[in-house]
Structures are given as structure tokens and as C-alpha cells.
Structure 1
Amino acid sequence: MDVTRKAPIGRPRGFDADVALERAMLVFWEQGYEGASLADLTTAMGITKTSMYAAFGNKENLFRKALERYLEGPAAYTALAMHEPTARAVATAFLAGAVSACTLPGSPSGCMTVQGALAAGEPGHTARDLLVSLRGTGQEHLRDRFARAVDEGDLPAGADPAMLARYVMTVGNGIAVQAAGGATRDQLQRVADAALRNWPPI
């Protein structure tokens, strides 16, 4: 949409940047970094390429901003789960959040951080590496939280925090892949519940 009135230099007008970013996030979520063409993005955002570059920079920067929005919105459960009072509650909240986020009505199935650039050619290497790093950081946070649980006696002394973190992350990532393949929320919640039956007793 063309600018209809003069705006301050460096501050593009004529469209709602927040709405445009939300739409870009959905495109990246559904199609992945490389699958989302500039035409796909600008059409969904309702702006021209010129406006997109002026407001968000290049495609890589737009992806980063869309990813931030995803983490603060649909994927906010990952940070919230860390505040649960017990290690089991952390794992329960994390997996329930994954199930919910991956099966949101009106949103793409699966997880943007898993499918956004799982396999990428040269143009998508930066996005792939960004998501690998992001998933790794999430796993580290789980490990640290479970290590604290061991120290506090909430997990048995012989528990392996790193293994438990990888276990929870692996199940969460698998939920995302299954959701993208058409698994229902109920089916995936049953998987999450089954995974938690293996949680180490205190």
C-alpha cells in the first residue's frame, strides 16, 4: 500500500508494521525461511518490497524479527515453563506448551523453530544456524533448571540433567514434526503424557 501522507524520514508509514510482521511470521512458520519468497512475504504483509526493506531491512532481518515475535507469542511457553516449581512440572508445562503451540487453530501446524530451516541450502544457512543455536539454548536452559532440581532434592542425586533436557527437547521437537504431519492435539498430548511416565521418581 502506498504512503498516503508525508511521514518523518526513516519511519515508513502507510501500513501497520505490527500487523505486517505478524503476517510475515505466519508465512515463515508455514513455508520455512527458504520456502518463503519475497513475493509471498510482501503479498501476505500487504506492502511493496520497497516498504519491506525500509521497515524491516532484508529478508534475513525480517526473519529474525518474525522469530522474535514467535518466541514472545506462540512459543512463550518455553520461557514460562522454567518458572514451574518442580522439574516434573517444568517438563509437563514445556510439552503441553509444545502441543498447544503446534496445533493452534488458525495457525500453521508444527513449530517455526523446528521447521523454519531444518534443511537449508546456501541462502538459508544463516537462518538454519540461528534456529540450531536457539534450540540449543533452550536445551541448556532446561539442563540448568534440572541441575538446580538435583541440588534441591527435587530430582534424585543420580539424575542426569543434560540427558533429561535432551529427552524433553527431543519429545518436544518430535511433537512439532508430528503436528506438521497432521497429528491432532489430543493425539500429541497423549504422547506427551506417555513421555512423562518415564520421569525419574524422587
Structure 2
Amino acid sequence: MARIGIVVEGNGEVPAFKQLIPKLTSPNGILGQPLRADLQPKATPAQVAASAKAAIGYFCRRNVDLIVVLIDLEDNPSASTFSKNLQAAFTKLYPHIAVEVVVKNSCVENWLIADVDALRKQPKRFAVTPALVRSVCPDKADSLDAQTLLNKAALKFEYDKGADPQKIMSHQNPLEVAQHSRSFRRFLRVIGNPDYQHQSRSPV
């Protein structure tokens, strides 16, 4: 069994992923406390890798076997190219530890909206319309302007990048997210989820 540490980029993602991690199925041990690094998707791959130095060092001192770095695609034109270039930069800078880069396509909001039932479970916060469901299902979450859709679904005030991710992930089912987000399926494959150990192209 490998020990896995997770690095995230947004302030709201640390408490959010603390909610999600205990629900992840993996033969490996995933540390329950993710760490934030100031990852900037528009920076060079070398700069992105360097910005994670403190988090990488912390996890190395905790004797982890694998560090998974989660970063937004944002407006980079190709998720595969972006991931490949980042992977090379992390491997070069940290040759002593295994690092896997997972690119969220195109941001964490796409993972948040992929499980519409998690929004339905907050009826005072989000209104889930048939149009929203059709936008997400089946397997279309990665292609959406997810933040705009969350803003439209939000009640009383717009989607809050600080507070809402934690609330949404507390209600999420990781396998339901995987049904509608290929980039999330890639994350599950990297951590060793048995449903996606062989492929992450298609939902199971």
C-alpha cells in the first residue's frame, strides 16, 4: 500500500478535498489533509513545479510514496500537452519522489458540477433545473463553463469559490462525479481506484 499526498491550488480546495478524500476508494492510503501550493496555470511548467516546493518537501518528510498535484487547465489549449509538460518539470525538479500531475478540465468547478445530486441536496443553495442536468449528463462536465452554470443555479447570492466547494464536495459521490468528468476519472485512476485502474477514458 502506497501513501499518497495531494496538492491543490485554491484556498477553497483544501477544506473541500478534506471532505472528498475520505470517500475515495483506493487500496492506497491517502493523507486526509491536502496541502495548498500557489500553482499558476499560466506560469511556465518549471515555475509551477517550483511553486510546489514547500508542499512537496512536507509530504516527503511524511514519507509519502506518491504526490498527486491537482491543477486547473484554465485556458491552456491542450490538457494532454499541459499535463505532459508539467509532469516533465516535476520529475526534473523532484527526482527523489514520485509525482503525478492531474489537470482539472478546466477547473475545480467542473468537478463540482459533475454530480448534480450533490447540488440537489442543498435545495436552499442551488436550483437544479432540467436544463442544467442536460448540460452535465452524460459525461459532459469537462466541456462546460461550470462557474457560470453554478452562478445561475445559486440562490440568494452567486457561487462562492471560498465556501461552496466544501459544501458541495461534502455531498458528492466520487463515482457519480466520475460518470460525467473524464479528468476526474483520471484522478481516480492515479490514486488507484479499482473501477478505473485500467482506463479513465470512459465511465464505468
Structure-2-length-normalised TM-score: 0.27
Structure-1-length-normalised TM-score: 0.27
Structure number with higher strand proportion: 2
Structure number with higher helix proportion: 1
